[in-house]
Every structure is written in structure tokens, then in C-alpha cells.
Amino acid sequence: MSRQGPRDTAEPTLPSVLAEHYKVQRLLGRGGMATVYLCTDERDGQSVAVKILREELGSAVTIERFLREIDFASELDHPQIPKVLDSGVIGELPFYAMTYIDGESLGARLKREKQLPIDDAVRIACAAMEPMTYAHARGIVHRDIKPENILLSGEK
């Protein structure tokens, strides 16, 4: 028999400066560089994804890289790429808010189904190529393409 310690049931929160505008609904994910939360923008009620650099990665080099990511993402205008709505720096940690795309990641679907039907795999691969081609034509490379970063929403 094993004993479990108390669970951390605290809801994730963003720094208090952002709390004026972004109310955290839930954690969407943690990556190697940042944490993403589903938030409600209390100014207009819109659901947004807020990506904030992880505190332990706040070195000058990492901050500069994250700020470049924000700049690059802000330049893109494609229906399959989340649009940057807002950005800033809290203390020393940069963040940006983007349109929220409701959907399951390809990674989650693969965990659930193990293998996709060939028609679905081809359709998803072709759909994923559209925004990548768009970004590449503008000199922007994603650098972290993996199933967890491909969202399946609607037909695309």
C-alpha cells in the first residue's frame, strides 16, 4: 500500500500584473521553454492562449530567443496559425497572448489511437504543411515541429 502526499490543487495563475486582463482558466501545456495557459481576456471576454517564458529559463539568451519568437509570430497572418493579440514583459519574463485554437493535439490523438488511418494521416500532414510553407516563405522556421504542437481543429 502506498501513501500519497497532498495534491497540489492550486489553480495556475499568471503574474498579478496580467491578472487584471487575463483570468486563467486552465493550464494548456508546458514546453521546454514556456508555459501556456487558457485565459479569458476580461476586456472583451475572448478566450486566449497566453504563453509565458518559464521563470527558470530567464537568462538573457533565452529571453532574447523568446522575444524573437514573439516578433516572428506577430508577422504571420494565416488562418492555421494563432494570431498574436498582445505581448509584453512582466518583470523579466516575456509573454504573449494569441488566439486560442480549440482542439486536440496530434500527440494526444496518437496516444489515444496509436495509429491513424492512412487517409487521416495524409490529410493531417498536408494540412500541417500549409502554415509551415507560409512561414518558410517569409524566412521563418518553426524549430519545434512535433505531434504535441500540431492542433487538430475542424477539418484542418
State the catalytic residues: 144
- Strands across the sheet containing 84-90: 22-30, 34-41, 46-53, 93-99, 84-90
Residue 14 DSSP SS3: coil
Task: Measure the CA–CA gap between 74 and 156, rounded to whole angstroms.
Answer: 21
Beta bridge partners of 30: 35
Task: Measure the CA–CA gap between 59 and 24, rounded to whole angstroms.
Answer: 25
Nearest to 131 by CA among 141, 122, 123, 121: 141
Answer whether 80's CB lies under 8 Å from 127's CB: yes
